[in-house]
Amino acid sequence: MTREEKTDIVGLLNKARAMELHAISQYMNQHYNLDDMDYGLPAGKVKLIAIDEMRHAEMFAERIKELGGEPLTDRAAKVQHGQEVEVIFGFDSDLEEDTISVYNGFLARCREVGDSITAGILETVVAEEQVHLNFFENEKKHIERLGAAYLATWAGSSSATGLPAALGYVATRGGE
């Protein structure tokens, strides 16, 4: 790759990173709100999806560094606060759909310049966004079709994510 092509790919990766940083904050906000509404089950799932987006932001940053660039910390959009439960899943479906389409465009550019490594990262990430999209779309449809009856299955449910607690720095210092 030429220097110009590397700069171009770093630019795309930073745009993708900004979309991830936006998604992280948006999903975290929804996670607290769903938890506050006592809809533990979707709150836990949305929290896990935010963690996936954190991994994506990291993957892009690592590749940016490899290409000699600097990972930026801007968000692609402002976070919407206080969304109703009837709004959240349609909103997130649109966000994931848009992300997949933008990343597919970036993927085409990576192939054009022969950057198979960035292309591979984007392929992995797009496949994960599709899993998110499937989840959000299913929830949106259930709420549309079943309404209160569906929400009642969430009320009072546990927000446990099934993740081990020892994920952070503090938790790993237990043996000290």
Binding site residues, Fe ion, CB under 5 A = 20, 53, 56, 129, 132
Q: Which is nearer to Fe ion, 24 or 175 (CB)?
A: 24
In the complex, the smallest distance separating the C-beta of residue 95 from Fe ion, rounded to whole angstroms, is: 7
Tell me the DSSP string of 69-107: -------SSPPPPS--HHHHHHHHHHHHHHHHHHHHHHH
In the complex, the smallest distance separating the C-beta of residue 89 from Fe ion, rounded to whole angstroms, is: 13
In the complex, the smallest distance separating the C-beta of residue 156 from Fe ion, rounded to whole angstroms, is: 27
Q: Which is nearer to Fe ion, 8 or 20 (CB)?
A: 20
Q: Which is nearer to Fe ion, 63 or 132 (CB)?
A: 132
Q: Which is nearer to Fe ion, 64 or 172 (CB)?
A: 64
Please report where in the chains the tokens 């630019």 appear, as a residue. 11
CA of residue 33 relative to chain centroid, distance: 17
For helices 40-66 and 3-36, the axis angle rounded to 10 degrees is 160
Nearest-5° Cα angle at 90, 160 to 102: 100
Spatial distance between the Cα atoms of 128 and 122, rounded to a whole number of angstroms: 10
In the complex, the smallest distance separating the C-beta of residue 129 from Fe ion, rounded to whole angstroms, is: 4
